[in-house]
Amino acid sequence: MLKAANIIYKKGNNEQQHSALQLPRILSSFETWGFSVTGLLLWIAAAPAMNKELGSQAIFVWLPGVIVGILLNLQVKHFGSFWQEISGGTPNYTTRLLKNYPSLGKYAAIGYYISWVAVLPINAIILADLVNDNLAHFNLVYSPILLRVGFTIIAFVVAFSGTRALGILHLFFVVPAVGLILAFCLQGNFWLVFSSDSPGFLPKSWSNFNFVAWAKWFLFATYAVYSCETASSFVADSKKPRNTLQSLVFTACLIPIVYLGGSWLVMRLATAPELGNDTFLNLVAAAQPFWDGSAAFLVTFLIVSGCLLTCATAVANSPRVLYQLALDGHISPVFAITSRQGILAPGLVFTLIVSLLLLIWGNLSQIVAATSVGWLSSFIGLHWGLWLNRGRPEVRWAWLSLFFAICESVALIVGGLAWGGKYLLIGLFAPIAILGVDALLRRVKLKKIHPIWWIERYYPTSTVKHQDLVLVQVSILLLLLCGTTLITWIIRGKLEGVPGTVQANLLVVVLMTVAFVGVAIACWTSLPQVAAIAQLQEQTEQRFITAMETMPDTILVLNGKGIIRQANPAATSLFDIKLPHLVGLHLDKLLPSLPEDMEKWSRISEHTLQHAQVLRAVEMTFSDGVHRDTDEYVVILRDFTERKQAEIERTRLLLQEQAARAEAEAAQERITNTLESITDGFFALDKEWRVTYLNLQAEKILLRSREELLGKNIWSAFNYTGSLGEEFYIQAQKTVSENVVTHFEAFSPTYNMWLECHFYPSSEGMSSYFRNISDRKQAEADINKSLQQQQELTELKSSLITRMSHEFRTPLSIILSSTELIEHYSHRLSDEKKSTLFNQVTNSAKQITKLLDECLTINQAESQKIKFNPSLIELEKLIQELIAEIQSNTDNHKITFLGEGNCQSAVMDVNILRKSLNELLVNAIKYSPEGSEIQLKVTCENKKAVFQVKDQGIGIPASEQNHVFERFYRGSNVSNISGIGLGLSIVKKLVELHQGSIDVSSEIGVGSTFTVVIPL
């Protein structure tokens, strides 16, 4: 079903292919960093309640949570560097780790998902209560249900406007919010340490430790401190995944500041019993000493921004978890559909439904208690997965993960029972219920939960005329302005007599809510026009890219500074650099002969390109004008290396001939020339093996100067190892000790050359002449290779003549006997008998023609004269035509065709493919009994085409199956069936031209299956 989502949309005369399953990389690094630090704001809701319950012991709940949270962020970043294509982050990494336990992996991922969905109703309840508390001063009380639903839906309205809109809005508010919470923690602890009014940094006494209470609140604390890894959910749609992953390190550095520093501050300053577990009152009490009168306003901003921002993160994160689970085949494929703007509508709708169901439940503490169970269960699954995959490069701290998993399991059971056994069971059962709903969705035949229904709306196959929404946008803007003015006028009078703190709190709530709603409305009204512009731009870019990709020459698009901004695939082959690495390079780095100043570039010029020790000659055509809008140049590079190499080869041969003549002339004068002029290397040794002289050529060959060697012992000056060193030592010792001339040849790995050495004894010691004979050795190797090839060709011809003589005898005898009968007894033969004789002649002629074709093909293959000309062909059509052609020549066998995968078209050599399949099918018919079935199966998947020809013939003995592709080899059980044993060897040669392979499996009396694999 997921494959059906990848479809081709036709618009006019153009075709555009777009994957409805791929998230567009549209989020900037700053936007994904905003989602990363949102987890710090969850501390606001957790800390006051824990402080009320545990007192000073709360810090011992946060401490292990902070340690695990930091390591978790670093581990998740490490995962992301290996799996940058995975969306949804941590839970989907867990499913990869638990791939051998898919049910457990799905359970953990859904537990994570439910916990993030629960953030929406939890924060909606907090915001609704905060609004009603402030409106009570105006004698205004609204229905809490309406307020809760409204605050829940706000984030979804923005999310349905597009991921980018949500990311920008989120970033706009998260910067001041996180800055404010960091200021709270740092300024407050600084005040505790240095202020004279401080009660002291350390408490005077500590509350008693209770393990059950610790486990209960640790279960709750992980809900906040483990949630700082959220940026990993957005790696797949980030423009710069590595920068997004880096935000996890940044957030990990802030975790101890907020979760330990903030908790310590609340523990020391929010100590009044009447504060209870009220978040607002506890934070105001903690901030009052150093923020004075601004404390209430700033705390309200923290609470409201924290609630709205975590809601925004939840609606962005939760659908991505479902999206990746669907892509990996764990849940219904409808959740894998995304729009061009990255809107995961099916996942958003499902998330909205689940959040509203939790909102109906309505009890804040019960929701937290139940969903915390699923949350911690998901991380227990993660840590067990890390332990099970220890040793893999993407896994770090496996032994610590095992320890964490055990401790978390104990905390889950003890803490869950402390919150209430009922909520523990609900939390454990909730993921199973969601998976049950998913299983139901897969079976229900409802059009709107099918991927195609969503694809047709996101990617219409016909051009859609977008409406002009300017009037709507202006009307909504006027409505917002007028409505704001009217509301301000109405409540202006009601503010008199109301405390300033209440006014400030209400102002924060109204400003934040209006901002979210305003952005949502702006996106909804402008989104159709933006989508139309994006679609038009996508079509234009697709046409340009298609044109570039079809060009055999390299095409580069440069900016005004000569830096590559775009390149076609041909550039990869020319520069041997992958396209992503080409972009951003200056062209003069690839072509050093280019001037750095683009104004000095010629319109047409030639350059030399070197990579991997291979030189290429390229001709560059440079556009002589700059695009007035984009400031871009177009450069076309054409590789004419072969032509240049031919010129260089002619020059080299000429120089080589001249050098040979010069060497011959120098040989006549060598006796009279000094040793400095000879082309051989020469050195002299005394009886102590010290170098007394060496000529210039010796310096060049040995790559050592005279200053380095004169007076030095030759055995200490050189490391004589390998064949040359050992032979040098043996022959030198023999020359001196036996006073004889010695001569040898050996290869030197040090100098990468063959050397011919002559040693002569002398009264002073020994002298040596040596020369580089690598060229001669190469020539000898080439001659030996040529002789070997000639011998193999002679043997092939001899075998071929012998086989052909034998095989030609039978059809020639049939032709001779048939023609003699027709010649001498034509008047006595019936028309039917004559027709039979003519058919025998025709069939024998065809047999001879086939034998000659096989001989010609094997000769071309051996001499490498078969040309390989791949082109785009209609693969299935070609196969069906071939089957029909072969079927028309036989009535005794039935040929069937079976195709799997997308085999409509492929890039192959049509003649080679046709010959190969024809030979296999004809062989199958030849060796199969009459009335049997021949099957040709073609499978196209994983970038390769697999052809299987299966017969019900005599089979091939197991001991002979490794030899059937050898020339002239025939099975021992072929009996009287004609043939010379060339067919399968020809097929093997042809398949190898396609960079493919052929194999056979067979059973005597059952049949044979020949499998050909060709890369696409």
> How many Å apart are CA 359 and CA 945, to the nearest integer?
53
In the predicted model, is pLDDT for residue 1010 greater than 90? Answer: yes
Residue 233, φ and ψ in degrees, nearest 5: -70, -20
768, β-bridge pairs: 683, 759
- pLDDT for 18 equals 40
In this structure, the answer to whether residues 70 and 211 fall within a common structural domain is yes
Q: Judge whether 883 and 936 are in contact, CB under 8 Å.
A: yes
Domain for residue 794, yes or no? no
Domain for residue 226, yes or no? yes
Q: Which whole-number Å values give the CA distances from 34 to 30, 39, 167, 170, in the listed order? A: 6, 10, 8, 7
- pLDDT for 660 equals 76
pLDDT in tens, 82-113: 888 888 889 999 999 999 999 999 999 999 99
| CATH label of the domain that carries residue 989 | 3.30.565.10
Burial class (CB in 10 A: 0-12, 13-18, 19+), 269: buried
Q: Judge whether 348 and 156 are in contact, CB under 8 Å.
A: yes
In this structure, the answer to whether residues 293 and 167 fall within a common structural domain is yes
> How many Å apart are CA 71 and CA 432, to the nearest integer?
29
- pLDDT for 5 equals 42
Q: What total of structural domains would you count in the chain? A: 4
Residue 371, both tokens: 């969903």
CA-based nearest residue to 524, from 814, 160, 66? 160
In this structure, the answer to whether residues 188 and 269 fall within a common structural domain is yes
pLDDT in tens, 754-796: 888 888 998 888 988 888 888 888 888 888 887 786 776 666 6
In this structure, the answer to whether residues 698 and 615 fall within a common structural domain is no
**pLDDT over 90 percentage in the chain:** 13
pLDDT in tens, 229-248: 888 888 888 888 888 888 88
Domain for residue 546, yes or no? no
In this structure, the answer to whether residues 637 and 523 fall within a common structural domain is no
Task: Report the amino acid identity of residue 637.
Answer: L
Location of structure tokens 């000639």: 790
Domain for residue 803, yes or no? no
Higher pLDDT, 535 or 837: 837
Domain for residue 853, yes or no? no
In the predicted model, is pLDDT for residue 4 greater than 90? Answer: no
Q: How many CB atoms lie within 10 A of CB 360?
A: 11
- Say whether pTM exceeds 0.75: no
- pLDDT for 597 equals 79
Domain for residue 76, yes or no? yes
Torsion of CA 201, 203, 209, 213, to 10 degrees: -70
In this structure, the answer to whether residues 71 and 209 fall within a common structural domain is yes
pLDDT (mean) for 52-77: 90
> How many Å apart are CA 474 and CA 683, to the nearest integer?
96
In this structure, the answer to whether residues 129 and 1 fall within a common structural domain is yes
In this predicted structure, which of 200-204, 879-883, 943-947 has the lowest mean pLDDT? Answer: 200-204
> Please, what is the average pLDDT of the chain?
79
| CATH label of the domain that carries residue 736 | 3.30.450.20
Domain for residue 770, yes or no? yes
In this structure, the answer to whether residues 645 and 570 fall within a common structural domain is yes
pLDDT in tens, 699-712: 888 888 888 888 88
pLDDT in tens, 888-916: 878 888 999 998 888 888 889 888 888 88
Q: Which of 738, 756, 777 is at the close of a domain?
A: 777
pLDDT in tens, 310-321: 888 888 888 989
For residue 444, give its domain range. 1-458+468-528
In this structure, the answer to whether residues 773 and 914 fall within a common structural domain is no
In this structure, the answer to whether residues 732 and 878 fall within a common structural domain is no
In this structure, the answer to whether residues 202 and 315 fall within a common structural domain is yes
In the predicted model, is pLDDT for residue 384 greater than 90? Answer: yes
Q: Judge whether 42 and 359 are in contact, CB under 8 Å.
A: no
Burial class (CB in 10 A: 0-12, 13-18, 19+), 13: exposed
In the predicted model, is pLDDT for residue 1001 greater than 60? Answer: yes
pLDDT (mean) for 373-400: 91
pLDDT (mean) for 806-826: 73
Identify the band that residue 509 occupies on the pLDDT scale cut at 50, 70 and 90: low
In this structure, the answer to whether residues 511 and 582 fall within a common structural domain is no
Domain for residue 112, yes or no? yes
